[in-house]
Amino acid sequence: MRTLTHRAAALALISTLALAGCGGSDDDTLESGPKNSSGASKSDDADAASGSKIGGKGYSYSVPEGWATPEQKVPGTEQTDSFAANLTDADGFADNINVIRLDPAPITDLDPLEQALFNELTVAGSQDVTIQDRTEIAGDEAIHISAKHIQQAGTYLTEQYNAIHDGVSYVVTFSFSDTVPQDERDKIAGSVLTTWTWS
C-alpha cells in the first residue's frame, strides 16, 4: 500500500506544482490533516460553466468563458490528460485546470488516498494544506484538498479533487493566483465540476 499511495500522491503533486509557468518523501505517518469546518460548496450547487467544452479520455467538462486549451504546449503539462487556462487573465498567472488520469487507480479507497495526498503535499512544502468537505463529480464521491504553493515564480493556490470512476483515478486540479479568495475558487471549480460527464 505504501508504494501505491506514494505513486498516487506524487502524480497528484505533479499536477499542482508543474504548472506555475502558466501565468517527495515516502512518509505515510503524518497526522490527519486539518479539515475545513465551514463546508465547501458542492459542485451541484454551482451555476454551470458556459465556456468551451473540454474532452478527455472517458470524460468531458465545460470551462468558464475565456478559458480554453492554449494553442501552444505549456511546459509541465506533459502528464496531463486535459488542460485549460484562463486566456484572458492579466495578473501574471493564468488560472487553470488540469486532469491527470491514472488507469488503473493505484488506490480505490478514498480514505487512505485522501491522507496520502495530504501527506505528500505537506512533505513537499505546500502550505495551508486543508482537507475540505467531499463533493461529487458526476455522481462519484470526490475528495477535495486545498493548498498554497510557493515557487521562485511566485505563490499560487490549488483546489484539488480526486474521484475514482470505473477503476480509474481522476485527479482534477484547479490552480489560481494567490489573490483569488476561497469562495471564488470554490465557485469556479464548482461551475466546472457541475458540467462533468462520464463517457
Distance between CA atoms of residues 114 and 160, nearest Å: 11
Please provide the size of the chain in residues: 199
Look up residue 66 and give its three cell numbers: 475565456
The strand pairing partners of 177, in sequence order, are 156
CA terminus-to-terminus distance, the chain: 30
pLDDT single digits (tens) 146-172: 999 988 778 999 999 999 999 999 999
The confidence score (pLDDT) of residue 17 equals: 44
pLDDT single digits (tens) 41-94: 445 568 999 999 999 999 999 999 999 998 888 777 888 999 999 999 888 889
184 has a pLDDT exceeding 70: yes
The SS3 assignment for 191 reads helix
Distance between CA atoms of residues 10 and 161, nearest Å: 14
The confidence score (pLDDT) of residue 76 equals: 75
Beta strands in 26-131 (DSSP E): 53-56, 59-62, 67-68, 82-86, 96-102, 127-131
Could you tell me if residue 176 is left (phi over 0), alpha (psi between -120 and 50 degrees) or otherwise beta? Answer: beta
The confidence score (pLDDT) of residue 105 equals: 92
Instruction: Residue 113: name the closest of 59, 57, 159, 169 by CA.
Output: 169
The helix (run of H) or strand (run of E) holding residue 148 is strand 140-151
What's the topology of domain 2-25+45-198?
Protein Transport Mog1p; Chain A (3.40.1000)
pTM of the predicted model as reported, rounded to 2 decimal places = 0.84
The confidence score (pLDDT) of residue 133 equals: 97
Single-letter code of the amino acid located at 144: H
Query: pLDDT band at 19, cuts 50/70/90?
Result: very low
pLDDT single digits (tens) 121-131: 998 899 999 99
The confidence score (pLDDT) of residue 79 equals: 83
Query: pLDDT band at 99, cuts 50/70/90?
Result: very high
The confidence score (pLDDT) of residue 12 equals: 58
26 has a pLDDT exceeding 50: no
The confidence score (pLDDT) of residue 43 equals: 54
Look up residue 119 and give its three cell numbers: 501527506
The confidence score (pLDDT) of residue 91 equals: 84
33 has a pLDDT exceeding 90: no
Q: Judging by DSSP bridges, how do beta strands 96-102 and 67-68 pair with one another?
A: unpaired
Q: Are 77 and 19 in contact (CB under 8 A)?
A: yes
* Helix runs in 41-181, H state only: 110-123
Could you tell me if residue 128 is left (phi over 0), alpha (psi between -120 and 50 degrees) or otherwise beta? Answer: left
Q: Are 147 and 121 in contact (CB under 8 A)?
A: yes
pLDDT single digits (tens) 105-142: 988 999 999 999 999 899 889 999 999 999 999 999 99
Average pLDDT over the chain reads: 83
